[in-house]
Amino acid sequence: MAEPLTKEMILDAAEQVLRRFGPEKTSVVDVARVLNISHGTIYRHYPSKDSLKEAVAERWLHSIIQPLESVFKEECSSADRLYRWVETLISIKHSLVKEDPELFAMYTSLAEESVDVIGAHIEELIGQIIPIIQEGTANGEFESLDPEAAAKGVFFATAKFHHPAHAKEWGSPDIMEEFRMVWDLILTGIVK
């Protein structure tokens, strides 16, 4: 008896097809062929090609967030936790570009087409920074700050180092030195 079709199976197949043909040339029919099912079956799970591509992009973006959660388990100061969180995000993005630049470009393209998915991803990332700011404010390490505004400030101030639009700049030998300069400036604004 065949295993029941799941959304994960469809996403795995869609990812495989997207890698082979790219976002523009991928069709739901191609994904169905990989799974040896009719394309109508896929439409029962995903109402359109765009919704399928959005789901693939969302899963990829979520895979970026998971390693960031380990930062919350470390025992350290709030400033160190904040630094480790941002540095981990940067490290993840830079590694993805180095390991498979074509795949990174494809996923970035998919994500850029999915404005709602990107918005939710950014909100989730900022949402992970907020408790770090709250912790630092509560323990007296940080100035009294609006946690959401401060989290957004940290995220957007460091965007050059983790936003895919800047990926071509990440190969610069000075990129991490530039990050440290920005980081020192951020700390000047938040640490008591």
Domains of the chain: 7-47 (1.10.10.60), 58-190 (1.10.357.10)
Integer Cα distance of 7 and 58 in angstroms: 13
DSSP reduced 3-state for 70: helix
| pLDDT greater than 80 at residue 103 | no
| pLDDT tier, 75 (very low <50, low <70, confident <90, very high otherwise) | very high
pLDDT of 1 reads: 46
DSSP reduced 3-state for 143: coil
Token pair in block for residue 57: 């992009």
Contacts of 19 (CB under 8 A, 6+ apart): 103, 106
Distances (CA, A) of 191 to 44, 48, 142, 144, 185: 52, 48, 4, 10, 10
Could you tell me how far CA 172 lies from the centroid of its own chain? 22
pLDDT of 2 reads: 60
Q: Higher pLDDT residue, 186 or 25?
A: 186
Contacts of 130 (CB under 8 A, 6+ apart): 147, 148, 151
pLDDT of 110 reads: 74
pLDDT of 59 reads: 87
Q: Higher pLDDT residue, 25 or 135?
A: 135
Q: Which of 88, 71, 95, 62 is nearest to 158 (CA)?
A: 88
| pLDDT greater than 70 at residue 28 | yes
CB 71 within 8 A of CB 81: yes
Q: Which of 117, 84, 110, 93 is nearest to 168 (CA)?
A: 93
Token pair in block for residue 127: 């949402």
Q: Where are the alpha helices (DSSP H) in the chain?
A: 7-21, 28-35, 39-45, 49-65, 78-99, 101-113, 115-138, 147-157, 159-162, 175-190
Integer Cα distance of 133 and 113 in angstroms: 31
Q: For residue range 132-175, what is the model confidence (pLDDT) as tens digits?
A: 999 999 999 999 999 999 999 999 999 999 999 899 999 999 99
Q: Higher pLDDT residue, 64 or 31?
A: 31
Secondary-structure breakdown of the chain: helix, strand, coil percentages, each rounded to the nearest 5: 80, 0, 20
